[in-house]
């Protein structure tokens, strides 16, 4: 007789609820649309944007916004994540890790970063000085996102360098330090609540960022005992002392 039931040692298969999956996809889509609206509202209104402003920009009632985001902090976190992904895609897409010199990678990365800042200055002001993060445990999201990006970038560049002796942790530390320095410089360049044209021209600010990034990388290289020839491609630029 053929046995039709599951074997005793077989784990029961989970039944996929199509309605649940459709709802999850719908929720992801609506959340993404609200984040799009938040960017537009921030661009128009500034960092003091309200939940009502964002709902209005999305063409939705405010209660619908709260059905898809637990609170202001939840929406803030989603905006941080969107900006992180936008920066990553914009900057990494500009790199040619096989032929660009280390110096060119720094300059191009700084230029692409400033381009995004200049396109969405109020988004950066909002993230750095948001009234959406009123609780002390809310304000750590940007730092957490920066740590995740630092680890991701460290693995990318350590792999591209072709030198397995370069410690990932050290690369992660210097990249995380760069993020902090760049965020502070961006805060100064934009001004916390200043909406007029920045006092330093874009080209000069890009050059400044490239200099401080290069200085931090060089300092870290000295500490861990490696040499970086900034005029060579990354896979040829790193050597041991």
- 18-69 and 81-240 share one CATH topology? no
> What is the Cα gyration radius of the chain?
23
State the pLDDT at residue 230: 92
Domain borders along the chain are 18-69, 81-240
* Residue ranges in the chain modelled with pLDDT below 70: 1-16, 133-141, 162-166, 192-198, 241
Do residues 124 and 190 touch, judged by C-beta distance below 8 A? yes
| Topology (CATH level 3) of domain 81-240 | Tetracycline Repressor; domain 2 (1.10.357)
pLDDT at 16: 56
Q: Which CATH number fits domain 18-69: 1.10.10, 2.60.120, 1.10.760, 1.10.287?
A: 1.10.10
Give the model's pLDDT for residue 139.
53
Report which of 228, 206, 232 is spatially closest to residue 217, judged by C-alpha positions: 228
Q: Over the stretch 49-97, which tens digit does the pLDDT of each residue have?
A: 999 999 999 999 999 999 999 899 899 999 999 999 999 999 989 998 8
Kindly report, residue by residue over 220-236, the tens digit of the pLDDT: 989 988 888 999 988 88
Kindly report each contact of residues 130-134 with a partner whose C-beta sits within 8 Å and lies 24 or more positions away, as own/partner: 130/47, 130/76, 131/47, 131/48, 132/72, 132/73, 132/75, 132/76, 133/72, 133/73, 133/76, 134/72
**pTM of whole model > 0.95?**
no
Task: List, in sequence order, every residue forming a beta bridge with 233; answer none if it has no partner.
Answer: 101
226-228 vs 238-240, strand pairing mode: antiparallel
| Token duo for residue 78 | 């989603």
Cβ burial of 38 (10 Å; 0-12, 13-18, 19+) is buried
């Amino acid at each position: 007789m053929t046995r039709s039931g599951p074997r005793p040692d077989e784990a029961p298969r989970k039944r996929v609820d199509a309605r649940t999956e459709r709802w999850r996809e719908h929720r992801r889509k609506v959340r993404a649309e609200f984040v799009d609206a938040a960017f537009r509202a921030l661009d128009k209104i500034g960092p003091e944007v309200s939940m009502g402003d964002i709902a209005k920009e999305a063409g939705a009632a405010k209660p619908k916004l709260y059905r898809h985001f637990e609170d202001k902090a939840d929406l803030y976190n989603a905006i941080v994540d969107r900006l992180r992904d936008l920066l990553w895609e914009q900057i990494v897409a500009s790199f040619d890790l096989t032929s660009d010199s280390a110096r060119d990678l720094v300059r191009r990365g700084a230029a692409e970063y400033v381009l995004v800042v200049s396109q969405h200055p109020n988004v950066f002001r909002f993230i750095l000085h948001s009234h959406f993060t009123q609780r002390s445990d809310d304000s750590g999201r940007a730092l957490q996102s920066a740590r995740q990006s630092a680890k991701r970038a460290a693995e990318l560049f350590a792999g591209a360098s072709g030198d397995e002796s370069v410690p990932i942790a050290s690369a992660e530390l210097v990249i995380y330090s760069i993020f902090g320095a760049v965020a502070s410089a961006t805060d100064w360049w934009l001004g916390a609540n200043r909406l007029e044209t920045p006092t330093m021209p874009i080209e000069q600010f890009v050059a400044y960022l490239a200099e401080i990034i290069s200085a931090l990388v060089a300092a870290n290289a000295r500490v861990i005992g490696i040499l970086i020839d900034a005029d060579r491609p990354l896979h040829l630029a790193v050597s041991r002392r």
